[in-house]
Amino acid sequence: MHIEELETPSVLIDLDRLERNIERMQARCDDAGVALRPHIKTHKIPAIARMQVDAGAIGIACQKVGEAEVFAQAGFNDILIPYNIIGKHKTARLADLVLYNRMTVAADNLPVIAGLSEAAAALDIRLRVLVDLATEIERTGATVSRVVELAKIIDNDEHLHFAGLMIYPSNATIRPALQETLTLLHEAGIGVEMVSGGGTGAALHMKEVPELTEIRIGTYAFNDWTTVSRGWCAPEDCAMTVKATVVSRPTENRAILDSGSKTLSSDVLEDGYGHILEYPDARIYKLNEEHGFVDLSACDAKPEIAEVVTVIPVHACVVTNLHNVLYGVRGDQVELTWAVAARGLVQ
Amino acid sequence: MHIEELETPSVLIDLDRLERNIERMQARCDDAGVALRPHIKTHKIPAIARMQVDAGAIGIACQKVGEAEVFAQAGFNDILIPYNIIGKHKTARLADLVLYNRMTVAADNLPVIAGLSEAAAALDIRLRVLVDLATEIERTGATVSRVVELAKIIDNDEHLHFAGLMIYPSNATIRPALQETLTLLHEAGIGVEMVSGGGTGAALHMKEVPELTEIRIGTYAFNDWTTVSRGWCAPEDCAMTVKATVVSRPTENRAILDSGSKTLSSDVLEDGYGHILEYPDARIYKLNEEHGFVDLSACDAKPEIAEVVTVIPVHACVVTNLHNVLYGVRGDQVELTWAVAARGLVQ
């Protein structure tokens, strides 16, 4: 099928670019001696994770137990969930996955560790746990001394296995804290198998953190206007685009697209809610649920009603999450249709 | 099932509140002599639309052809799509729906009208078309004189039927333009069956626009922190809440919820990304995809790790669109589970 036959809005994945992004990042990781663990949050599609593993990835990362269940079912068996999993049902589901898969999970506090231990004890298994070291983004994560305390507790728990450290993002700024932690763990006689870093931006500098054994990254597969804006890739590396139709031109300088926040998400950058390839001087300045508001005042040429335009979205991962299917295209042909298998599995 | 048995994040719909919201708005419309046409974008669930129609609604509004197909299949047969539908496939699908359902669609420009005419001609049917009158929100819509021109073109097309006017939002500010349009149409001998207004806020003042024959509103069924903030309802009218778990407390004044932009959406108000009922002084100041960042500095009592909190989201309609299921609850019991049937049908 020709891509012009697709209705809009449609989310297209350029297969040449996807393949190139996967190969290039794998080569970069190989060169740095860091294992690549793609985060599936970006695509939520087992077939793409398969491409990543076939290219050399060590396993995958999922952010939710529900995602891990879908990918385990699809045959992936080295899965890291870099997240505090809380709740009796959820930890039981996680423990179930351990019966048949190599699972690793993260924790940054005692109640989480206690819950994991209880779930593992119920099945008489041993669950692999990383401890989350706090970074400059001030999200989750424990301080150095607390990480060591938690590692000792995990190490002493017969149903848990201390597998190492988790960091997000693994920028070079974390290195002093990381080295201090590793020294303290070494002095305590606690082995560290994995130091799992993360972040598509951090991946560009992973050689500056030689303590990393692996890196979790998602966005590099598709890229988006954020990774372009931060200088992490070129516009030509963006595999994901949204085809949108101009449905109204109420004034000389306003166009309305059939793609709003339910298509592009409300994630926004300083220059708007996405970049229109054919009209780089246009600005998507506002979104309603199904309307994209475009300011054309800086454009010499302006799109006509019914014209289809190509939008590079601000944030690929949340766009995936809004759609039932993504279309894999090569040149002007639609080569395949992927169901977004793990979409909406927030638990 | 007790609601405490639900894993988080979960989207709960309080059935008592939903029923009350539906009844109250129907009574308000009945009192104003304006037909109520609920917009299903808020819930995308046929069973809820059925409750609305059973309460007295005249039919429904859908924003996309794909949504209309789901609801037509579910037995709704008076469906308005207040949107410019463009594209041969899409207009053909719309015409197919007309064969068995009373369908009405909107247009604000000639290419859209030409496409609708062509699709209707192919099936030798007549398609009902409203013309979209521009309002103060500067989205879609034609000017008064242009509306009259377009109405004449539709009126002269043997495969189209000019059904009236569409307005969004139908605030009192539109009344002069609306009256002028109606006068001009009357002078041209063109009948107006419907004047379809819209907007949950506008519904509070519909008596000020007596020209309205019906009103399209969606959010009133669930309400959200935006409708509360604008004074359109009380917090007790919010039927939709998101149950979230505190998964980390990295510092005294920071909590991390298991609900990020893939659960709550990136829609934001001045006071944050949602309102936590149990900690009204807490502020959800940032979201990552699966992390909600909460500032507790203004709170006397602070939530503990593993505590489940209740978030009123900023925008109910986009939250629905992020989830596979909504849970209907009464008191502390989960009474039913709804699949979000028309979710992700952006075309």
Nearest CB to A250; choose among B7, B134, B268: B134
Which residues, numbered 189 to 228 in chain B, qualify as contacts with chain A under a Cβ-Cβ cut-off of 8 Å? none
Residues of A in contact with B90 (CB under 8 A): 7
Closest residue on chain A to B64 (Cα)? A290
**Residues of B with CB below 8 A from A9's CB?**
346-347
Domain endpoint, select from B205, B221, B237:
B221
Q: What is the mean pLDDT of chain B?
A: 97
ipTM field? 0.95
Q: What is the pLDDT of residue B345?
A: 82
This model's pTM is above 0.90? yes
Residue ending a domain, choose from B186, B221, B256: B221
Predicted confidence band of residue A347 (pLDDT cuts 50, 70, 90): confident
**Residue in chain A lying closest to B344 (CA):** A323
Query: Of A196, A221, A246, which one is at a domain's C-terminal end?
Result: A221
pLDDT in tens, A39-77: 999 999 999 999 999 999 999 999 999 999 999 999 999
Tell me the pLDDT tens digit for each residue of B102-129. Answer: 999 999 999 999 999 999 999 999 999 9
Same domain, A268 and A186: no
* CATH code where residue B124 lies: 3.20.20.10
Per residue in A312-329, pLDDT (tens digit) is: 999 999 999 999 999 999
Q: Of A9, A111, A254, which has the smallest distance from its Cβ to B305's Cβ? A: A111
Residue B152 has pLDDT above 90, yes or no: yes
**Which domain, by its residues, includes A329?**
3-9+226-339
Nearest to A323 among B134, B267, B344 (CB): B344
In chain A, the number of structural domains is 2
Residues B252 and B209 in one domain: no
A107/A236 same-domain check: no
User: For A60-70, how does the pLDDT look when each residue is reduced to its tens digit (9 = 90+)?
Assistant: 999 999 999 99
Regarding whether A241 and A184 lie in a shared domain, the answer is no
If asked whether residues B148 and B243 sit together in one domain, one would say: no
Q: Does B20 touch chain A (CB under 8 A)?
A: no
B192-207 pLDDT tens trace: 999 999 999 999 999 9
- Assess A285–B contact: CB distance below 8 Å, yes or no: no
> Which chain A residues have a beta carbon less than 8 Å from that of B64?
290
Which of A139, A259, A346 is nearest residue B288 as measured by Cβ atoms?
A: A139
Q: How far is CA A85 from CA A274, A334, B261, B290, B307, in A?
A: 33, 39, 18, 12, 13
B87 and B185, same domain (yes or no): yes
Is residue B28 within 8 angstroms of chain A, CB to CB?
A: no
Q: Within a domain: residue B345?
A: no
